[in-house]
Structure 1
Amino acid sequence: GDILSQGDIFGTVYENSLFSEHSILVPPKCKGRVTYVAPAGSYNIHEEVLELELDGKRTKYSMSHKWPVRQPRPIVEKLAGDVPLITGQRVLDAMFPSILGGTCAIPGAFGCGKTCISQALSKHSNSEVIIYVGCGERGNEMAEVLEEFPALTTIKNGKEVSIMQRTSLVANTSNMPVAAREASIYTGITLAEYFRDMGRNVSMMADSTSRWAEALREISGRLAEMPGDSGYPAYLATKLAQFYERAGKVTCLGSPERKGSITIVGAVSPPGGDFADPVTTSTLSIVQVFWGLDKKLAQKKHFPSVNWTISTSNYERQLDKYFNENYDKEFSSLRQRIKEILHEEVELNEIVQLVGKDSLSEDQKLTLEIANIIKGEFLQQNAFSEHDFTCPL
């Protein structure tokens, strides 16, 4: 006889040891008085487990429900994020942090390590659910993910469990139909919203949004629409904004009251590594965190090849209080000092190339040495070392 409305949790299912409770929700835009609830037991996703009555009309519900992927799922309100997304990569966590519920872009040329960073986030981040969308990339990359992820473990209640238990993969490789490639990113974000509505912190990796934009261009061309810059449709920026807008920390619908978040990390593959590409420029005007990868750093075998002179994060001030309270009260001032040293090193290197190192003062030589130590020992990280592949703050 209880009244249930959209988003209410009316049951739970045991999923696995890492993702223990899968909440069963009343679908959006549905409500009514309970006339039947299935007793505890084993059911499949098609069997009816709930019946609601509204205005004399009875509707039966199973454990699953459908939702159009291009339409955002309803929420109560958006909240400001205040907890960082811990990635396990020192250069990202310490220098250019994101929040749970943030939007990040990783632009970089071929071979800079975009996929490595995306996979590192999937493996080691502090999110509870990972959605990995392989959109238009090589089939080998998805095969790598399927091969490596089950072997990776995390500790839960003193036991080692595979991180595959918290991961959903949406595979849409470059040899699949164009329409499917365009829909794959929407599918991924809708799955993320479903888990967010349970009160979970979700991370979604889109690898890569450039291939998605190319699919939009192909479909737009076949529909004979007016092309914009580089042949992309004129509404490219709008579509990207609609996608990234679905990220954020929110208060979920229904009872009990809960909060969830979606963090979107989009890899961008500009042709030839040119950041003036329409997809890259549109993305950078929308996202709050920019982790720019540098081909020169990658050629020097400096990984992650995040260029500290062009990368930015708009969440630094938002997170200063959290870092200063939970890690070190001088955390933000130390980060600022590191950035100053690295920027000073760029200027000094120009002088060295013109007139040689001997023309520098002792203080300036010391600055160069300190900058080299910061770059080599702190910003660089070996993804294949068992001691250094992930690093706690």
Structure 2
Amino acid sequence: MNDSGYNLRKAQKCKGSSVGGVGKIASVGMVNGPVVRGDSVEGFKVREMVMVGKKKLLAEVISIEGEHAVIQVYEETEGLKTGEEIVPTGKPLSLKLGPGMIGNIFDGIQRPLERMEEISGGFISEGIGLISIDPDKEWDVEIEVSKGDILKGGQIYATVQETSLIQHRLMVPPKVSGEVVEVRESGKYKLEDEVVILRDDSGAEHELRLYQEWAVRDPRPVESRMTISKPLVTGQRVLDIFFPLGKGGTAALPGGFGTGKTMTQHQLAKWSDADIIVYIGCGERGNEMTEVLEDFPKLIDPKSGKPLMERTILIANTSNMPVAAREASIYTGITMAEYYRDMGYHVAIMADSTSRWAEALREISGRLEEMPAEEGYPAYLPSRLAQFYERAGYVSSLCKKEGSVTVIGAVSPPGGDFSEPVTENTKRFVNAFLALDRNLAYARHYPAINYLNSYSGYIKMLSDWMKDNVSDNIIDLRAKFLDILHEEKKLMEIVELVGEDVLPDGQRLTIEISRLIKNGFLQQNALHKEDTYVPLEKQYLMLQTIDILYERAKKAVKSGIAISQVRNDAIFSSVVKMKYNIPNDDFSGFKKLKEDIDAFYDGLEKKYEEYAK
């Protein structure tokens, strides 16, 4: 059935009237791509959802001036004529938040692609309406409250096993509270079924169903925001040790074409210890999104052995879809994430990419004839980016559970130029900047995160956790090895001019150890079963092994032993290959490797002492 949703039905009931705060029907005065001017608007509100034209195209009111309103349409406007009706709904763009979102694939305004294919075939036709999660599916509902209970906003009144991995906790809407006057028994119910009725202090009754509606541009309220103190463990060494992400934190992943943004986000989606993943494909090429939509359902969650889709929501909005829906997709994703956060889950959002979202803002701004700022982007680009990233956080929810939303936004600067407006402004609002490097990507060094241009502001916040759960000296080791990498960068400038042979042995050792860090630790093979994900303990032992080798080699060089003798191919090669040769569930190989290093340098020093005599 072509169901245009609750909003449309309500609007149709109110045609020609302004009952219940819904304005009168207006008319189309001008069409400019996705931007429409509404004439004779009366009772319309800014950010209100409206239905435009005979096809009832979904749209949103952007601004109102006198009797005219500027409206952005979320669907193709081809064939739309002046004089056609604009029907108000009385509500802003809102999502139905309830069971059925996990494992689903939506467009930018929460319309399920599978259902849309049934309605219109392989191409999305106009006028499908605001369909959402399946209203006809029955769910096993476990009621958690009794008659006479006093409930406040955010409290859990029932649970549904949404997938084998995720228990969906039905919560009282944040602005609702009261006494339970009616409650149904546990059993099978559909989304629209009333399971609990509350009566508030004024005597008004509130029907609680299996979902709640929420405006996408409004952040969901929380009990309190908490300090970020736990890392988002990803199993990727360059992130977990060198540039860690905090649960509830923000990160930018900028990089030019071919540097591995999407692949890095796929690794994070699969291996990070977030409970739920929300992946937003915002304005990416159709073939790239097709690959995501085909690959994700086949992926197996390594922690549970179940399909990864049992804890994933996909939002697909390709570059040829309507530009206004692309702008809305970011808000759709973050609102879904906040909803699951409020249940007490740790959610990670992968936005790929915020540059395409910013381009959508620029196109709409141009059609609105707004004054452009740098490179044609609207002057409010920084504030929009800030509004998005600031919805991340580690919180205590209204139901007294800890949850978080971690936002990882890919940025696609044209030509890899990090000085362009989207990258520069994103840098202001994120705490981790993971700069992807084209040269590293072309050299097959993945993840291609440049260890000199990247940074993480979560080091101090996470240091106590790292010391308690990994090692006391992990932060010091990280700082030491970053110093080596920066020193090597300076030395390589000299080497490019005069060659490596002119350097003293101590500096040549720095170059050798730096290569070891890059090839043996920072470079990671996503296709190798032992290297695609590495537990924190193994990451630390790998770093410690490189440090043992470095200290023994440095001592030997200071003793006067030539670098050609100190750098033993077999020892250095075994240290590089430890990531493959030592299993993730048996770390005994590190003890043997340490013994081999000590035995080699003990023998070398002894041999040198005998020679000196």
**TM-score strictly above 0.5:** yes
Q: What is aligned with 1:48?
A: 194
Q: What is aligned with 1:124?
A: 271
- Superposed structure 1 runs of 4+ greater than 3 Å apart: none
> Which amino acid in the other structure matches residue 47 of structure 1?
D
Q: What is aligned with 1:304?
A: 447
> Which one of 236, 243, 250 corresponds to residue 381 of structure 2?
236
Deviations 1:127-148 (A, max 9, x none): 0000000000012222222222
Q: What is the CA–CA distance in structure 2 between the aligned matches of 1:49 and 1:174, rounded to whole Å?
A: 41
Residue 486 of structure 2 is aligned to residue 347 of structure 1 = no
Q: What is the CA–CA distance in structure 1 between the aligned matches of 2:224 and 2:207, rounded to whole Å?
A: 29
Deviations 1:169-197 (A, max 9, x none): 01111111011000000000000000000
Q: What is aligned with 1:315?
A: 458
Deviations 1:292-346 (A, max 9, x none): 0111111111111100001000110111111111111110011011101100110
Unmatched segments (≥5 aa) in structure 1: none
Query: How far is 1:155 from its partner?
Result: 5.0
Q: What is aligned with 1:193?
A: 338
Q: What is aligned with 1:247?
A: 392
Q: What is aligned with 1:212?
A: 357
Q: Provide TM-score, normalisation by structure 1.
A: 0.97
Query: How far is 1:386 from its partner?
Result: 2.4
Q: For 1:18-33, what aligned pairs fall within 5 Å after superposition?
A: 18-19=165-166, 21-33=167-179
> Which amino acid in the other structure matches residue 99 of structure 1?
G
Query: How far is 1:153 from its partner?
Result: 2.0
Residue 234 of structure 2 is aligned to residue 87 of structure 1 = yes
Q: Residues 381 and 155 of structure 1: is their aligned pair in 2 closer, same or farther, counting only changes over 3 Å?
A: closer
Residue 255 of structure 2 is aligned to residue 108 of structure 1 = yes
> Which amino acid in the other structure matches residue 337 of structure 1?
K
Q: What is aligned with 2:6?
A: none
Q: Provide TM-score, normalisation by structure 2.
A: 0.62
> Which one of 222, 228, 234 corresponds to residue 367 of structure 2?
222
Q: What is aligned with 1:16?
A: 163
Secondary structure, counterpart of 2:215 in structure 1: coil
Give the % identical residues. 54
Deviations 1:61-87 (A, max 9, x none): 211111010110111111101110111
Contact 1:47/1:62 (CA < 8 Å) preserved in 2? yes
Q: Which moved more, 1:195-204 or 1:322-331?
A: 322-331
Residue 243 of structure 2 is aligned to residue 96 of structure 1 = yes
Deviations 1:346-368 (A, max 9, x none): 01101111111111111111111
- Coordinate RMSD, CA, aligned: 1.1
Q: For 1:134-145, what aligned pairs fall within 5 Å after superposition?
A: 134-145=281-292
Q: What is the CA–CA distance in structure 2 between the aligned matches of 1:377 and 1:223, rounded to whole Å?
A: 53
Q: Which moved more, 1:80-89 or 1:229-238?
A: 80-89
Q: What is aligned with 1:370?
A: 513
Flag the structure with more relative contact order, 1 or 2, with Cα contacts below 8 A and sequence separation at least 6.
1
Q: For 1:67-78, what aligned pairs fall within 5 Å after superposition?
A: 67-78=214-225
Residue 294 of structure 2 is aligned to residue 151 of structure 1 = no
Q: What is the CA–CA distance in structure 1 between the aligned matches of 2:302 and 2:288, rounded to whole Å?
A: 26
Q: What is the CA–CA distance in structure 2 between the aligned matches of 1:176 and 1:73, rounded to whole Å?
A: 28
> Which one of 160, 163, 167 corresponds to residue 312 of structure 2?
167
Q: What is aligned with 1:290?
A: 433
Q: What is the CA–CA distance in structure 2 between the aligned matches of 1:282 and 1:155, rounded to whole Å?
A: 36
Deviations 1:154-176 (A, max 9, x none): 355xx621111000001111111
Residue 392 of structure 2 is aligned to residue 266 of structure 1 = no
Deviations 1:90-118 (A, max 9, x none): 11111000110000000000000000111
Q: What is the CA–CA distance in structure 2 between the aligned matches of 1:17 and 1:326, rounded to whole Å?
A: 29
Contact 2:196/2:209 (CA < 8 Å) preserved in 1? yes
Contact 2:271/2:302 (CA < 8 Å) preserved in 1? no
Q: What is aligned with 1:6?
A: 153
Secondary structure, counterpart of 1:343 in structure 2: helix
Query: How far is 1:24 from its partner?
Result: 0.3
> Which amino acid in the other structure matches residue 152 of structure 2?
S
Q: Which moved more, 1:317-326 or 1:107-116?
A: 317-326
Q: What is aligned with 1:34?
A: 180
Q: What is the CA–CA distance in structure 1 between the aligned matches of 2:380 and 2:258, rounded to whole Å?
A: 29
Contact 1:123/1:149 (CA < 8 Å) preserved in 2? no
Q: What is the CA–CA distance in structure 2 between the aligned matches of 1:314 and 1:221, rounded to whole Å?
A: 36
Query: How far is 1:59 from its partner?
Result: 2.1
The higher radius of gyration belongs to 2
